[in-house]
Amino acid sequence: MNVQNKVWVITGGASGMGRELVLNLLSRGARVAAVDVNEEALKETSELAGERRNNLSTHVVDITDRDAVARLPEQVVAEHGAVDGLINNAGIIQPFVRVNHLEFDAIERVMNVNFYGTLYMTKAFLPHLLERPEAHIVNVSSMGGFLPVPGQSVYGASKAAVKLLTEGLHTELLETNVNVTLVLPGAIGTDIAANSGVNVTAAPESSEEGSMMEPLAPDRAAQVIVDGIERNRYRVLVGSDSRLMNLLYRLSPKLAATFIFRQMKALLPE
């Protein structure tokens, strides 16, 4: 789907990969509605858009608030005249602790943002997308949605739910005008830990420069994702780590899980 002259809604558009998706789409001639809970950071995104900000609207919405999300399509259509695409990018991680030590409040928060937020947005916008000549839904899962990461088991469960939801949507919408793309990023150089309220006190053993776990720059990640949209890709693996672990996991799930444990165990408290 050519993104030019299309209207896109992007959650988590105030920072990180979401902000870069906003800027990338604007640079390709799209109109964008950026959604986030952080009003000040949304203003920064608008400033970074420069002369293209006339094609950008910002919407302060908590995607875990189902009623607020239900009102959002009308607001976007009023601003842009239509909606052609939805990118469910917003997400948070959990504290780096084992399930046994993870508080229920943290569990519910992760599931509400990552899974229910994606579901609420999809349910709200899908009727509008079905009315367009061509439309697209993009859901951002994670490498952690197909591969277990120690200390992020509930986060992984939320992203696995997004993965299966997206694959199910793709099948259900095969004979419609709505394309569906699943995005599976590896490590991206964003402030997701800080934005999630998570304090990371140690770095993975493999985080040295040149490691396969080295985070991909968010602007590069956005470029890969939008390129995938324009090619109507079924899945987009973002980053060399995601591509490598996808291959290893398909060959031997247990070996892949053990490998990731050894890479990430420094983040886990004893």
Distance CA 97, CA 99 (A): 7
Confirm if 242 and 139 have CB atoms less than 8 A apart: no
Distance CA 23, CA 14 (A): 11
Distance CA 245, CA 143 (A): 8
Catalytic residue selected from 116, 120, 155, 249 = 155
Q: Which residues pair with 268 in a beta bridge?
A: none
Residue 238 burial class via C-beta count within 10 angstroms: exposed 0-12, middle 13-18, buried 19 and up: buried
Give the chain's radius of gyration (CA, Å): 18
Does the annotation count 155 as an active-site position? yes
Q: Which residues lie below 8 Å from residue 92, measured CB to CB, with a gap of 6+?
A: 109, 110, 113, 114, 155, 192, 195, 196, 197, 198
Within 10 A of 67 (CB to CB), how many other CB atoms are there? 7
Q: What is the DSSP letter of 188?
A: B
Distance CA 234, CA 215 (A): 23
What totals of helices (H) and strands (E) does the chain contain, helices first? 10, 7
Distance CA 142, CA 155 (A): 9
Coil, helix or strand for 104?
A: helix
Which residues are tagged catalytic?
155
